[in-house]
């Protein structure tokens, strides 16, 4: 009978330990849910901010592939969102005569060397603006 009591006590102790671990997992799960919710809110805020910008703006990966562009960039260049997202350098709105300058500015931005520079964008119809549209790679 003594061995049976000892085994029962061991099982109860193990059960208590497992309950304690489960409580820790619940805390982690709640923290993960909170972080996911905050990330979702941040993503919506960022998307809305970019969409509302009056300046042309694109989100690119470190290879220069456009992941997203705002309506202002589309209006500025005459290209549709679908025509710009997924493109990589040289982008369709980069003028051939300014390609090296555009590429250099982009590479600096990728390295974190941000600066204001004026770079003309070519429109879809091939024309360059009659005024200089400043572009900031930040």
Instruction: Write out the chain in H/E/C secondary structure.
Output: CHHHHHHHHHHHHHHHHHHHHHHHHHHHHHHHHHHHHHHHHHHHHHHHHHHHCCCCCEEECCCCCEEEECHHHHHHHCCCHHHHCCCCCCCCCCCHHHHHHHHHHHHHHHCCCCEEEECCCCCCCCCCCCCCCEEEEC
Name, in order, each residue with C-beta under 8 angstroms of 98's C-beta and a sequence gap of 6 or more: 119, 120
Tokens encoding 44: 């919506």
Predicted confidence (pLDDT) at residue 33 exceeds the cutoff of 80 = yes
Where do the structural domains in the chain lie, given as residue ranges?
1-52, 54-137
Q: Who has greater pLDDT, 3 or 11?
A: 11
**Mean pLDDT throughout 45-54?**
91
Alpha carbon separation from 133 to 33, 80, 96, 120 (Å, rounded): 43, 19, 17, 6
| Share above pLDDT 90 across residues of the chain, in percent, rounded to a whole number | 35
Q: Band of the pLDDT at 1, cuts 50, 70, 90?
A: low
pLDDT of residue 114: 80
8 Å CB contact between 98 and 119: yes
User: CATH number of the domain at 54-137, out of 3.20.20.70, 3.30.450.20, 2.50.20.10, 3.10.580.10?
Assistant: 3.30.450.20
Q: Which of 19-23, 25-29, 121-125 has the lowest mean pLDDT?
A: 19-23
């Amino acid at each position: 009978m003594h061995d049976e009591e000892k085994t029962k006590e061991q099982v109860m102790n193990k059960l208590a330990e497992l309950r304690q671990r489960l409580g820790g997992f619940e805390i982690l799960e709640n923290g993960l849910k909170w972080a996911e919710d905050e990330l979702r809110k941040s993503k919506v805020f960022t998307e809305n901010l970019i969409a509302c910008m009056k300046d042309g703006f694109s989100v690119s990966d470190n290879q220069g592939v456009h992941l997203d562009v705002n309506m202002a960039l589309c209006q500025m260049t005459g290209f549709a969102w679908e025509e710009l997202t997924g493109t990589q350098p040289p982008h369709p709105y980069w003028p051939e005569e300014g390609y090296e300058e555009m590429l250099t500015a982009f590479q600096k931005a990728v390295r974190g060397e941000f600066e204001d520079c004026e770079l003309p964008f070519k429109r879809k119809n091939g024309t360059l603006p009659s005024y200089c549209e400043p572009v900031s790679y930040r």
